Amino acid sequence: MVSEDARVEVLEKRCEDLIDVARLVTLSLDKEVIIKKSLGHIHERLGKRARYAVLEDGQLVIADWIGEYEEDFSATKKVARKSILWKAFTEGKALNLTAPSQTNGYEHTLTEQIKIKAVVPLRYVDARTHQEVRFGVLVVDSGREQDPITDEEFEYLQIMADLMGEAAGKAELVKELISSYAQREELVKSMTHYLRNRFMVIGGFARRLYQKIDGGEAKGYAGIIAKEIVKMEKSLQVLEDMWKREKEEPTRAKPEAALTKKPPSAV
């Protein structure tokens, strides 16, 4: 009887590539690095070609690939609008094409016109809106050999596509957070600049008024205003100092740096 530890070890060996990509999704912020790594694992494990098309300005464009192609990808390659890739993308449904007839009526992007292939839409759930975002498709085939993708391989490709989607979702979230932080910084700078100018004007006016008034209640009010403006200027300076300290605080080591470290050996 096979022990539980032995079962786990066999499973880990079978899923080494998935675990590797999942680790990258956790550690890296570079979506393209993760997608390239995923294509490499697919090619190595299945012995098939793999390519990735991304949505750009309303067009699906082949952005990365691995394997031998007759096509020249040195120039931007737009996916044919009436191709089955667009069908999978727009419907959000993975397709495993095992018979040539399944592509009847569709255009081919590559001159090879490979009909036997798997097409898996790439997507993620937006962390803010909780809406699904489709950003591309994963395509895998064996070229002119036209070897069908097995059910097990198709399931593996869908898992890999999910991991690629997680990488894209994380990258977009980080980009939005950075943009939000930059906007906040600009807002603070603009507001402090505006308030400082207003304080200078009001403070200067109050001081001149105080000097010109001989006495009485009005002079007292002018003096109070001048003193309050000084307090507000100090408060504004405190706000600026806090913002500067926040920016100057040592940042955590970049997640990518962790990739260069070897994982601890298994106990």
Mean pLDDT on 5-28 = 69
Helix, strand, or coil (residue 187): helix
* Rg of the chain, C-alpha, whole Å: 30
Indicate the pLDDT class of residue 2, thresholds 50, 70 and 90. Answer: very low
Locate tokens 């097409």: which residue?
Answer: 119
Residue ranges per structural domain of the chain: 16-176, 180-260
CATH entry, 16-176, from 3.40.50.720, 3.30.450.40, 3.40.710.10, 3.40.640.10: 3.30.450.40
pLDDT exceeds cutoff 50 at 265: no
Strands, sheet with 49-56, edge to edge from the N-terminal-most edge strand: 77-78, 59-66, 49-56, 132-141, 117-125, 95-97
pLDDT score, position 4? 57
Residue 188: how many other CB atoms lie within 10 Å: 15
- CB-based contacts of 176, cutoff 8 Å, min separation 6: 128
